[in-house]
């Protein structure tokens, strides 16, 4: 069991304070790690249902606004559906995950979660030819 710190690192050079998530297992597949993060995000959202969802991926039927996504009608977000979206985004280079000092590319790869492991999410941009 350990406390994993999630850091959403972006590119301004600053890092967020990060937030902790208790994880009972010592080893976990990356897929499961992402699912835990999304579940936690959605649970926090659903508990308060603010107007803007701030999370890893954009929920369906929302509008992009400053610092998040506005829901067209106030509702609860489905954590399963949101997890699916997140996994799809990962596969499509929507974000990348660093665990400690290493980037993980395979969803099925198992991660050793020592105490205080830092998991970093790095956002990427969808690209097309111009």
| Stretch of 27-35, 43-51, 71-79, 100-108 contacting other proteins, by CB under 8 A | 100-108
Cα separation, 99 vs 114, whole angstroms: 11
Count Cβ atoms below 10 Å from residue 29 Cβ, excluding itself.
16
By CB under 8 A, tell whether 101 contacts other proteins: yes
The reply to whether 20 sits near other proteins by the rule CB under 8 A is no
Least distance between other proteins and beta carbon 23 (Å)? 21
* 12 vs 63: CA distance, rounded Å: 24
Residue 29 binds other proteins, judged by CB under 8 A? no
CB of residue 6 vs other proteins: minimum separation in angstroms? 11
Beta bridge partners of 59: none
Decide if 117 contacts 2 (C-beta within 8 A). yes
Using CA atoms, how far apart are residues 110 and 10, in angstroms rounded to an integer?
Answer: 25
Residue 48, interface with other proteins (CB under 8 A)? no
Binding stretches for other proteins (CB under 8 A): 8, 10-14, 16, 53-58, 64, 66-69, 85-86, 88-89, 92-96, 98, 101-105, 121-130
């Amino acid at each position: 069991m350990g406390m994993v710190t999630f850091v959403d690192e972006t590119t301004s050079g600053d890092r967020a304070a990060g937030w902790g998530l208790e994880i009972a297992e010592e080893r976990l597949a990356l897929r499961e790690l992402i699912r835990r993060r999304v579940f936690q995000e959605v649970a926090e959202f659903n508990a308060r249902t603010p107007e803007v969802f701030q999370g890893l991926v954009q929920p369906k039927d929302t509008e992009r606004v400053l610092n998040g996504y506005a829901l067209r009608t106030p509702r609860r977000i489905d954590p399963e559906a949101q997890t699916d979206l997140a996994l799809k985004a990962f596969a499509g280079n929507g974000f990348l995950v660093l665990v400690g000092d290493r980037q993980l590319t395979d969803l099925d790869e198992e991660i050793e979660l020592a105490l205080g492991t830092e998991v970093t999410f790095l956002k990427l941009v969808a690209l097309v030819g111009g």
